[in-house]
């Protein structure tokens, strides 16, 4: 039997997945270089193979293929640096332990008490932007205190940093597969799609490549299943032809079998639907039940909503079908990138663990760790889609020469690159070719009338300030349409009935601010420092505007909760240089700073519409005000 230190060496090498020198290992385990050499010799003899490779210059590295072949069970991954340790500690406190023993933690992550003390300082800084969160240290224990909302926001912040576009980045996804080049597979799929003149939406492409990678991995490891999916539904579909040609070419490129079940599943993924026979009705209901339950669990537990992500639902449903068939046929899969996913994306893997518990509960099965890593791929890609800002697709019509066209397009790209991508330039309008591009808006340098329900903006060839304003307003309109549902929820949360006052009589702007700030303080939504800071902001420059409204707010001090207090005055008061009748006291805590853009976008749209602004001033109650805001 191996001793504790020798097992730790296997854990460290497996976790790091790179060469580690003997000196580094000796320092981690507080032993000599000679002891490390002796331990590695014992390990290799124990398993009767060269499990740990050695190199005089590089050090030591574990052979992953032999690790899986020997079926060695390794412990949970060990954080490699200070930031990883901070995330590890926070994750433990959020989901696994009410408190952590710091002495035991040193043994778990192989660092000194001094390093742990530095990590604790960093964690306190990381959570400082969440008012309710406090890291409490009592002797040799630490715990995380605070409200659930801030804990979830902390988790999502860390999760955003962890994924950071990785699951929408094909180069990053490709690094997970070691047995084949996923980017080469991508080129094959693109060539086949071009052959059939078939387009895959850009937003769907990473998810489709993840599915292709998983399918090929299954075939390589001979995890074959007689799928119940009916092929005869698909025989005449172009998607089936594309899928068959794709896997045929892949089988020739990397020398794998052509598996019909994988061809059918991939075709269904391209179609975007789940085809079923009548006898599969119960299975379909079960799959839908599991998908809905997983989405609910992720929403309830992590406050992340995948309910509108059709790609996630479809991909997860197809994966679950195979998972259940593997369970039924007692097939065990090998996932060679399990450790890589756990190491790189521990927070995504945490979501996969919760999803696995849901599946296990509904189906009364034991979902193994290898299966969880496949779920993590779907969840990571879905979170990237939820968290990424989608740029609008624009088609531009310019019936001019190439040089002038390029100049116009370059100006638009320079100004709107973060919000819009020009997918195609045409010299004339033709409905079919425009629809083929599925644009969100049409930009044209000539007058244009058409029957498509797509916003159209006419600009000059030289793109002046007025043209920029037109495009900007159209993009804002698209934003409003896209986020209307979220905006309605936000408005109802921020503009509360108990903070709404209509037809009030006040003598001055100071009296208005006193009244509104004191109300927030009495409801424990802000403190005296906030009120002082609001007056400090007014002393710099009055927050009133020519249209007859004011937006008092603080400069530095944030409120305890985010809210907007509304006061509609019976008679206007003098506020700076203007007569003001509508007052909106803005109280935003620091973790909700993203709400400012939404608020001011709404406010600018209101004040630019004199008729709508007048209607707001004439409302008689809270319900009427809200109705005018969200309509």
Q: How far apart are CA 569 and CA 615, in angstroms?
A: 14
Contact status, residue 144 vs residue 133, Cβ threshold 8 Å: yes
**What CATH fold (topology level) applies to the domain 4-69?**
Arc Repressor Mutant, subunit A (1.10.10)
CATH 1.10.10.10 residue window(s) in the chain: 4-69, 82-146
Q: How far apart are CA 434 and CA 100, in angstroms?
A: 59
Q: How far apart are CA 63 and CA 69, in angstroms?
A: 10
Q: Tokens 């950071």 appear where? A: 164
Q: Is CATH 1.10.10.10 the classification given to domain 82-146?
A: yes
Question: Quick one: which H or E segment has residue 54?
Answer: strand 52-55
User: Partners of 420 in the beta sheet?
Assistant: 392
Other Cβ atoms within 10 Å of 567 Cβ, number: 23
Question: Mean pLDDT of all residues in the chain?
Answer: 83
Q: Tokens 């797509």 appear where? A: 454
Q: Which residues of 116-153 are buried (b: 16+ CB within 10 A; e: fewer)?
A: beebbeebeebbebbbebebeeeeebbebebeeebbeb
Q: What is the pLDDT of residue 342?
A: 76
Question: Quick one: which H or E segment has residue 242?
Answer: helix 238-254
Q: What is the pLDDT of residue 582?
A: 92
Q: How far apart are CA 421 and CA 457, in angstroms?
A: 15
- Report the relative pairing of strands 392-397 and 420-426 from DSSP bridges: parallel
User: Partners of 500 in the beta sheet?
Assistant: 566
Q: Express each pLDDT in 426-483 by its tens digit.
A: 999 989 899 888 899 999 999 998 989 999 999 998 898 889 889 988 988 887 777 6
Q: Which of 390, 408, 504 is nearest to 462 (CA)?
A: 408
Which stretches within 496-608 are classed as H helix?
A: 509-522, 528-540, 595-607
Three-state DSSP class for residue 577: coil
Q: What is the pLDDT of residue 233?
A: 60
Q: Which residues of 287-300 are buried (b: 16+ CB within 10 A; e: fewer)?
A: beebbeebbebbee
C-alpha distances (whole Å) from 319 to each of 161, 377, 567 are: 27, 11, 54
Contact status, residue 306 vs residue 317, Cβ threshold 8 Å: no
What is the edge-to-edge ordering of all strands in the sheet holding 420-426?
Answer: 420-426, 392-397, 441-444, 456-458
DSSP codes joined into one string, 146-188: S-HHHHHHHHHHHHHHHHTTGGG-HHHHHTT-SSS-HHHHHHH
User: Partners of 197 in the beta sheet?
Assistant: none
| Burial grade of 507 (CB within 10 A; 0-12, 13-18, 19 or more) | exposed
Other Cβ atoms within 10 Å of 13 Cβ, number: 26
Q: Is CATH 1.10.8 the classification given to domain 392-471?
A: no
Q: How far apart are CA 304 and CA 387, in angstroms?
A: 10
Q: How far apart are CA 4 and CA 200, in angstroms?
A: 52
Other Cβ atoms within 10 Å of 483 Cβ, number: 14
For helices 22-29 and 33-47, the axis angle rounded to 10 degrees is: 100
Q: Express each pLDDT in 211-256 by its tens digit.
A: 888 888 878 877 665 555 545 566 678 888 999 999 999 999 998 8
Question: Quick one: which H or E segment has residue 607?
Answer: helix 595-607
In total, the chain counts a number of residues equal to 631
CATH 1.10.1790.10 residue window(s) in the chain: 170-387
Task: Look at phi and psi of residue 209 and say left if phi exceeds 0, alpha if psi is from -120 to 50, else beta.
Answer: alpha
Q: Which of 594, 585, 569, 600 is nearest to 535 (CA)?
A: 585
Q: Is CATH 1.10.150.310 the classification given to domain 486-630?
A: no
User: Partners of 586 in the beta sheet?
Assistant: 553, 564
Q: What is the pLDDT of residue 457?
A: 95
CATH 3.40.50 residue window(s) in the chain: 392-471
Q: How far apart are CA 16 and CA 9, in angstroms?
A: 11
- CA 605 from chain centre, in angstroms, equals 29
- Report the relative pairing of strands 456-458 and 420-426 from DSSP bridges: unpaired
Contact status, residue 150 vs residue 131, Cβ threshold 8 Å: yes
Q: What homologous superfamily does CATH list for 170-387?
A: PRD domain (1.10.1790.10)
Two tokens at 533? 């800071």
Using 50 as the pLDDT threshold, list the residues of the chain that sit under it: 230, 274-279
């Amino acid at each position: 039997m191996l001793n504790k230190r020798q097992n730790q060496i296997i854990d460290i090498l497996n976790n790091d997945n790179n060469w580690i020198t003997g000196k580094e290992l000796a320092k981690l385990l507080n032993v000599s270089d000679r002891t490390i050499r002796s331990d590695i010799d014992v390990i290799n003899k124990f398993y009767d193979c060269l499990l740990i490779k050695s190199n005089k210059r590089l050090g030591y590295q574990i052979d992953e293929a032999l690790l899986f072949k020997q079926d060695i069970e390794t412990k949970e991954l060990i954080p490699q640096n200070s930031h990883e340790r901070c995330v590890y500690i926070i994750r433990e406190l959020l989901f696994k332990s009410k408190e952590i023993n710091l002495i035991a933690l040193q043994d778990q992550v192989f660092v000194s008490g001094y390093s742990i003390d530095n990590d604790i300082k960093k964690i306190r800084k990381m959570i400082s932007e969440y008012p309710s969160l406090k890291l409490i240290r009592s002797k040799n224990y630490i715990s995380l205190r605070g409200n659930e909302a801030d804990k979830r926001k902390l988790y999502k912040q860390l999760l955003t940093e962890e994924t950071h576009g990785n699951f929408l980045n094909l180069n990053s996804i490709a690094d997970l597969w070691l047995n084949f080049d996923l980017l080469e597979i991508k080129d094959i799929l693109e060539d086949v799609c071009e052959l059939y003149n078939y387009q895959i939406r850009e937003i769907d492409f990473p998810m489709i490549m993840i599915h292709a990678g998983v399918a090929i991995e299954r075939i390589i490891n001979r995890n074959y299943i007689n799928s119940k999916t009916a092929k005869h539904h698909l025989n005449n579909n172009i998607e089936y032809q594309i899928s068959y040609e794709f896997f045929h070419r892949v089988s020739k490129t990397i020398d794998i079998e052509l598996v019909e079940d994988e061809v059918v599943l991939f075709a269904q993924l391209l179609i975007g639907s789940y085809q079923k026979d009548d006898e599969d009705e119960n299975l379909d209901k079960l799959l839908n039940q599991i998908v809905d339950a997983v989405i609910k669990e992720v929403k309830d537990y992590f406050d992340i909503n995948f309910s509108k992500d059709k790609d996630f639902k479809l991909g997860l449903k197809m994966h679950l079908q195979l998972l259940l068939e593997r369970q039924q046929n007692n097939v065990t899969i090998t996932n060679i990138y399990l450790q890589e996913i756990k190491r790189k994306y521990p927070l995504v893997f945490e979501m996969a663990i919760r999803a696995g518990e849901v599946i296990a509960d509904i189906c009364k099965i034991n979902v193994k760790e290898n299966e969880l890593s496949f779920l993590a791929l779907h969840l990571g890609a879905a979170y990237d889609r939820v968290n990424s800002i989608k740029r609008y697709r624009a088609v531009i019509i310019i019936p001019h020469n190439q040089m002038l066209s390029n100049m116009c397009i370059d100006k638009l790209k320079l100004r709107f690159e973060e919000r819009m991508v020009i997918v195609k330039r045409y010299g004339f309008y033709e409905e079919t070719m425009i629809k083929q591009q599925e644009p969100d808006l049409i930009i044209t340098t000539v007058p244009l009338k058409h029957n498509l329900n797509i916003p159209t903006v006419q600009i000059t060839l030289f793109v002046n300030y007025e043209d920029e304003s037109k495009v900007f307003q159209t993009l804002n309109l698209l934003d409003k349409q896209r986020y209307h549902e979220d905006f309605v929820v936000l408005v109802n949360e921020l503009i509360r009935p108990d903070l709404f006052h209509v037809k009030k009589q006040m003598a001055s702007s100071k009296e208005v601010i006193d009244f509104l700030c004191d109300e927030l303080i009495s409801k424990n939504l802000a403190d005296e420092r906030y009120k002082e800071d609001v007056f400090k902001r007014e002393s710099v420059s009055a927050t009133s505007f020519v249209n007859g409204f004011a937006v008092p707010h603080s400069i530095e001090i944030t409120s305890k909760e985010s809210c907007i207090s509304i006061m509609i005055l019976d008679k206007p008061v003098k506020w700076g240089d203007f007569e003001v009748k509508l007052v909106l006291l803005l109280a935003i805590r620091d973790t909700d700073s993203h709400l400012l853009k939404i608020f001011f976008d709404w406010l600018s749209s209101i004040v630019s519409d004199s008729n709508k602004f007048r209607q707001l001033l004439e409302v008689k109650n809270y319900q009427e005000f809200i109705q005018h805001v969200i309509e």
